[in-house]
Amino acid sequence: MNVLMFTNTYLPIVGGVSESVQRLKRCLQAAGHRVLVVAPRLEGQPREERDVVRVAAVQHFNGSDFSLPVPIPGQLHDEVEAFEPDIVHSHHPFLLGDTAARTAETYGLPLIFTHHTLYEHYTHYVPGDSPRMQRFAVALATQYTRLCDEVIAPSESIRDLLYEREANPRISVVPSGVDTARFATGDGDGWRRRLGIPGDAYVIGHLGRLAREKNLDFLARGVAEALVNASGAHFLVVGDGDARAAMQATFAEAGVEQRVYFAGRLQGRALIDAYHAMDVFAFASHSETQGMVIAEAMAAGLPVVAVQAPGIQEVVCDGRNGRLLVDDDAAAMAAALVELADEGRRRPLAERARQTAHRYDEARCARRCLAVYRRAIARGGPFTHADEGGWELVRSRLGAEWQMLRHRGRLLRHLVQEEWEHERPDWWPRQREDDEADLSGR
């Protein structure tokens, strides 16, 4: 099978979506399939890449680590024609996601969309952030699903959320996979020596972007209280971002900054070794759709202390493979972390964490994704690569643009309804007949 993927984030960006795309690409290719990834040009990208096409992008959009792809009509024509895709897989509902939808429509291919992100938690990266912008983000992603033949949700809770939002109901749960065998072993002692952490210390760990949407203010308060109550505990943070300074200030105020270590961004073997330098993993984000780092931590044998949230509650089972807190209670977070300083309490949770991680092995998840591809292709019937002639290709492109215009129209109507319902909830009745007709006729 030839799989054409579109993503707004890719190497050298370190993050959940980038890692998910890379791992899925690697597993599909290992199984004998061809994969071509379309991604934005990024500073520091590899000089030589196989099976990757880069498109123009504005670097460091709005001061963030992200780049803004600038899709140019026709710039991918030769690559797509040469690749002859069987299916299009979009990893975002906008920017290159729009290009994915146009490509699928132009070439008569099934379109798959993975809903990796709760975009309403990320609107602070866009100028003019407001509740209205958050509603727009929800509507954009939800309406995009209606352009697709199949939707992939990384967890059951995200699937249920999409059902509540009345997205395309053809949703399959396929988590982003982890190479469990690779994460199972690492040189944790080496990282402890490098950072000056005592070999017998109790180490609380965290990994991820240090960004506003990750609820790091709460995490820092909970961990700081744990360090105060457990004098032999240390805290290792892997990752970087704008929230680092605020976290450091919290630890300094608590007087525990000497036992806190910021290792920066890590990849590859260094990242795995850092996991193995930890004894327990602390996580507080409410913005995850799965929390891939939790599966990584469990694969490394770490019990997890986390806050109950979508994508997390399916992985962390309270009292079995970690502790799951019902809300943002810093004292409860600290108490759970201090409790697991006892190795006798920690050991059985660690073993069951490893067992949990095997459910998220990347090869297993890739097979589930392939099943979604095959189902979409079978439902769509025979399709072409629009190679019957120049006029057929032009007509297909015009059809793709018309489909995108209809998508924008549905999005605009949905936003108008949402705004009226927000201001006057009894005034505007919901009307979805046209949307349902569009979906059934896809």
- Using CA atoms, how far apart are residues 90 and 436, in angstroms rounded to an integer? 22
Contact status, residue 177 vs residue 214, Cβ threshold 8 Å: no
- Average pLDDT across the chain, whole number: 86
For 103-112, what is each residue's pLDDT tens digit?
998 888 999 9
Of the pLDDT bands very low, low, confident and very high (cuts 50, 70, 90), residue 290 is: confident
Q: Which two tokens stand for residue 156?
A: 């059951």
Contact status, residue 234 vs residue 204, Cβ threshold 8 Å: yes
Same CATH topology for 2-177+363-440 and 181-360: the answer is yes
Query: How many other C-beta atoms are found inside a 10 Å radius of the C-beta of residue 90?
Result: 27
Residue 80 pLDDT exceeds 50: yes
For 37-72, what is each residue's pLDDT tens digit?
999 988 888 888 999 999 887 765 555 555 667 666
Predicted pLDDT of residue 385: 41
For 299-332, what is each residue's pLDDT tens digit?
999 999 999 988 899 999 999 999 999 999 999 9
What would the CATH number be for the domain defined by 181-360? 3.40.50.2000
Extended beta strands in 265-334, E state: 280-283, 304-307, 322-325
Predicted pLDDT of residue 418: 56
Domain ranges of the chain: 2-177+363-440, 181-360
Predicted pLDDT of residue 181: 96
Q: Which two tokens stand for residue 106?
A: 């132009």
For 382-391, what is each residue's pLDDT tens digit?
444 444 444 4
Predicted pLDDT of residue 423: 54
- Using CA atoms, how far apart are residues 80 and 435, in angstroms rounded to an integer? 30
Which residues lie below 8 Å from residue 81, measured CB to CB, with a gap of 6+?
385, 387
Percent of the chain exceeding pLDDT 90 equals 64
The CATH number of domain 2-177+363-440, selected from 3.30.2020.30, 3.40.50.300, 3.90.470.10, 3.40.50.2000: 3.40.50.2000
Q: Which two tokens stand for residue 164?
A: 């509540």
Query: How many other C-beta atoms are found inside a 10 Å radius of the C-beta of residue 131?
Result: 10
- The predicted model gives 191-203 an average pLDDT of 96
Contact status, residue 27 vs residue 366, Cβ threshold 8 Å: yes
Percent of the chain exceeding pLDDT 70 equals 79
Predicted pLDDT of residue 118: 81
Predicted TM-score of the model (pTM): 0.82
Give which of 64, 144, 121 is closest to 407, Cα–Cα: 144
SS3 state of residue 336: helix
Residue 269 pLDDT exceeds 90: yes
Residue 425 pLDDT exceeds 60: no
Peptide bond preceding 73 in cis form (omega within 30 of 0): no
For 218-248, what is each residue's pLDDT tens digit?
999 999 999 999 999 999 999 999 999 999 9
Kindly tell me the burial class for residue 324, based on how many C-beta atoms sit within 10 Å of its own C-beta (0-12, 13-18, 19 or more): buried
Q: What is the CA radius of gyration of the chain?
A: 23
Residue 424 pLDDT exceeds 60: no
- Using CA atoms, how far apart are residues 321 and 347, in angstroms rounded to an integer? 10
